[in-house]
Amino acid sequence: MKRYFAVLLGILTAIGGFVDIGDLVTNAQVGARLGTSLVWVVVVGVVGICVFAEMSGRIAAVSHRATFDLVRERLGPRMGFLNLVGSMLVTLLTFIAEIGGVALALQLVSSVHHLLIVPFVAVAVWIVLWRARFSSIENVLGLMGLALIAFAVALWQLGPDWGELATGLSPAEKPDAESWATYAFFGVALFGAAMTPYEVFFFSSGGVEERWTEKDIGVMRANVFIGFPLGGILSVAIAACAATVFLPAGVTVETLGQVGLPVAIGLGKIGLAVVVLGFFAATFGAACETGLSTGYSLAQYFGFPWGKYVRPREAAGFHIILLVVTVTAAGVLLTGVDPIMVTEISVVFSAIALPLTYFPILVVANDPDYLGEHVNGRVANTLGVVYLVVIAVAALAAIPLMIVTSMGQG
Amino acid sequence: MVSLADRDGYDVGLHLLDRQIIGADDRLVGKVDDVELVLDDDGALVPTALLVGLPALLPRFGRRLGGGLARAHRLVREAAADQELPLVVDFDLVEDVSSEVRLSEPAPGLLHRMAHERAADPRRCRVGDLLGLPVRCAALPRRSKVLDLRMTGAPGRPGEHRVVALLVGPGRPGALFGYDRSSEPGPAVVAALIGWLHRHARVVDLGPAVDIDTDAGVVRIGAEASLAPLRG
């Protein structure tokens, strides 16, 4: 019974933890401008994150190696360092965006300007990273994040023309007002948001921290293969809500309040309250994950003790990094930069950093030195290679598309 | 996990460098940032220590970038007198090399700073200095380099570890990603691509025909040396 409960809890937190500020903003923007014609990208992205999260989870369970250990072991110190710098920048950008997202969520409730809230959020995040137990962070915030299911309920209450939504799934149904370049740009952004590298850093490091063994592979797979796709359905619900409310009116999404507006229309005040709670939990949870990921990556690359299970005195370097990135993130936000813009940039740069992270995972997942009998099967390898190509294309296309479309404005 | 005992030798770059060092008490000691080798009187290359810390890691970034980073590190750590020297773990303590390097003693107090005399000893060199050295050999393409060092050794028997062969060929050290070692290498497409990129790479046994000249920064391979193709 306890085991089933653990599986259920894992799946629920995976659903709640899947959605972060990048998914919230990008999906709502895409829904408002392009309807449901990019839903297929979310599906491709979710399958991709499942493939690579399962590989990295398996490696963590069998050989107790987290992702950045593998990056350095397989790419060597130079390429590994390039990767470290790239991933750190992207993860830091995401971290800034998440803290900004928490502040924006609290602004929706309190009407206090988010700049005044940012320092308090930063302190709260740091205290949680310093004091809270790993499992409580994951479980409490993951379960609260489930409040975002309100988007699915609101979509049903909004009573859209389901036939129209379904027809809109085809890329051919792209609204004529938008160019194909804009379509491709938002495709890459959605892909980056779904496959952000920090998800595997955090997932595999968490597995090492919680001392997964070969026996835990089953539970890990259930979390990945059930939790992530259900989280993906939440993403689609956000896009569909925006498509129903904003697309006909020709409104674009520029604030977090607008992301939640369809829920307020569909479910009223209570719905709005629930969804704001969801925003808070999803962004706060992701802020903890990205913050920890920066510490994990640096510590794993340079080889000093890390993690929440090691006493802070022994993992001093790790905790100093957490403090420094939190202060940096708060400092960047206090310059008055728009957190939504930081989010948009972070998802595009995620897409660029993807190949460097996922290639070493695929190589090591085939190495019997690490995995013994648990090396990749044929399905995982085929998908892995196909996704490597897709990821490379997305990474190469990201910058040109960003310039051509002026970050999707054109 | 496959341990050293089940494997027919191992490659320093692939199996040893950058791996985690774990003490007998399961605590992380650090990473293998470099490996120190000694040129024996009989011409054998024997590993003597694992080197840990930025002074060991930074030179591996290459001459220009590594040199710059090492200078920057000295500036930051000026307070420490022995800042330029890495920490040392004696190779005799290595118990097994699997996906981690396991030691026979607990972590605390294990690391000690390298002595100045030892660092200046001309017979000692680092694996990081050997990897990437240009190779002069009539039978190989001109841009060939040292890609990896192949070692033999048995766990728990100190002194047995030694370098027996060099992997040489065009390309970059580490870019084989281990595809030369495993019998059923990973995604067939990736394995085929990497195999094709390294089609000129060869294994050459150390012997009188192979001259590793660390002063001139070059490895000369005579015509009588036997060049074997990579496995797999």
pLDDT tens by residue, B129-179: 888 889 988 888 888 899 998 888 755 455 578 888 888 988 888 888 888
Domain count, chain A: 1
Instruction: Identify whether A2 is part of a domain.
Output: no
Residue of B nearest to A75 (CA): B174
Q: Is the pLDDT of residue A311 over 80?
A: no
Compute the nearest-CA separation of A197 from chain B (Å): 21
| Residue range A103-130: mean pLDDT, rounded | 94
Best residue in A367, A370, A373 to probe B by mutation, most B CBs within 10 Å? A367
Cβ-defined contact of B18 to A305 (cutoff 8 Å): no
B31 and A303 in contact by Cβ < 8 A? yes
pTM of the model: 0.91
Cα–Cα distance measured from residue B131 to residue B125, given in angstroms and rounded to the nearest whole number? 11
Q: B174, A75: Cβ pair inside 8 Å?
A: yes
Min Cα–Cα distance to chain A from B82, Å: 20
What is the average pLDDT score of chain A? 90
Mutate to test the interface with B, among A74, A306, A369, A390 (most CBs of B within 10 A): A369
How far apart, in whole angstroms, are the C-alpha atoms of residue A154 and residue A265?
8
Strands B135-136 and B218-221: parallel
The answer to the question of residue A302 being in a domain is yes
Average pLDDT value for residue range A167-176: 86
- Note whether B119 and B107 are same-domain residues: yes
State which residues form the domain around B217.
129-229
Least CB–CB distance from A381: residue in B54, B61, B186: B186
Are B114 and B200 part of one and the same domain?
no
Q: Which of B100, B127, B154 is the last residue of a domain?
A: B127
In a domain, A409, yes or no: no
pLDDT at A245: 93
User: Which CATH number belongs to the domain containing residue B36 in this structure?
Assistant: 2.30.30.240
Residue A330 backbone zone (phi > 0: left; psi -120 to 50: alpha; other: beta): alpha
CA distance A76 to chain B (A): 6
For residue A298, the distance in angstroms to the closest alpha carbon of chain B comes to 13
Assign A30 a pLDDT band (cuts: 50, 70, 90): very high
Which residues of chain A have a CB within 8 Å of the CB of B19? 73
Q: In this structure, is residue A263 part of a structural domain? A: yes
Distance CA A272, CA A265 (A): 9
- ipTM exceeding 0.90? no
A348 against B66, higher pLDDT:
A348
| CB-based contact B28 A368, cutoff 8 Å | no
Inter-chain residue contact B18 with A385, CB threshold 8 Å: no
Tell me how close the Cα of B40 comes to any Cα of chain A, in angstroms. Answer: 28
Q: Is B20 on the interface with A (CB under 8 A)?
A: yes
Would the CB atoms of B190 and A62 count as touching at under 8 Å?
no
- Tell me the β-bridge partners of B210: B221
Residue range A217-242, pLDDT digits in tens: 998 999 899 999 999 999 999 999 99
> What is the arithmetic mean of pLDDT over A192-205?
90
Check which CATH number belongs to the domain holding A81 and give it: 1.20.1740.10
Q: Does the distance separating the beta carbons of B20 and A372 come in below 8 Å?
A: no
Burial of residue A265 (number of CB atoms within 10 Å: 0-12, 13-18, 19+): middle
Per the CB < 8 Å rule, is A77 touching B57?
yes
Cβ A282 vs Cβ A15: under 8 Å: no
Which among B84, B100, B127 is the end of a domain? B127
Residue in chain A nearest B52 by alpha carbon = A303
On the question of pLDDT at A3 being above 70, the answer is: yes
Quote the mean pLDDT of chain B.
Answer: 82
Do B94 and B165 lie in one domain? The reply is no
In angstroms, the separation between the Cα of residue A17 and the nearest Cα of chain B is 30
Q: Does A54 map to a domain? A: yes
Q: Which of B94, B111, B127 is the last residue of a domain?
A: B127
- Chain B residues with CB-CB distance to A385 below 8 A: 187, 189-190
Chain A residues whose CB is inside 8 A of the B173 CB are 76
Looking at residue A374, the DSSP 8-state letter turns out to be G
- Residue for token pair 């800034």: A96
Q: Please tell me the distance from the alpha carbon of residue B93 to that of residue B80, in angstroms, as a whole number.
A: 27
Q: Are residues B35 and B51 in the same domain?
A: yes
B156 and B63 in a common domain: no
- Identify whether residues B101 and B61 lie together within a single domain: yes
Q: Do B186 and B102 have their domain in common?
A: no
Inter-chain touch B52–A303, beta carbons under 8 Å: yes
Mutant choice from B19, B28, B145, B148 vs A, greatest count of A C-beta within 10 A:
B28
* Residue A316 CA to its chain's centroid (Å): 27
Does residue A300 belong to any structural domain of this protein? yes
Check CB contact under 8 Å for B190 and A305: no
**CB nearest to B2's CB, from A65, A362, A369:** A369
| Domain region containing A229 | 8-168+180-404
**Residues A332 and A359 sit within 8 Å (Cβ to Cβ):** no
Question: Please, which pLDDT band fits residue B232 given cuts at 50, 70 and 90?
Answer: very low
Region of poorest pLDDT, from A29-38, A145-154, B196-205: B196-205
In chain B, % of residues over pLDDT 70:
88
pLDDT at A24 over 50: yes
Give chain A positions within 8 Å (CB) of B67: none
**Total structural domains within chain B:** 2
Q: pLDDT tens digits for B26-83?
A: 888 889 999 999 887 777 788 889 999 888 888 888 878 888 887 887 777 666 656 6
Token pair listed for B208: 């009188």
> Using an 8 Å Cβ cutoff, are B109 and B87 in contact?
no
Is A34 a member of any domain? yes
The answer to whether residues B56 and B119 belong to one domain is: yes
Distance, CA of B179 to CA of B232 (rounded, Å) = 8
Q: B212 and B101, same structural domain? A: no
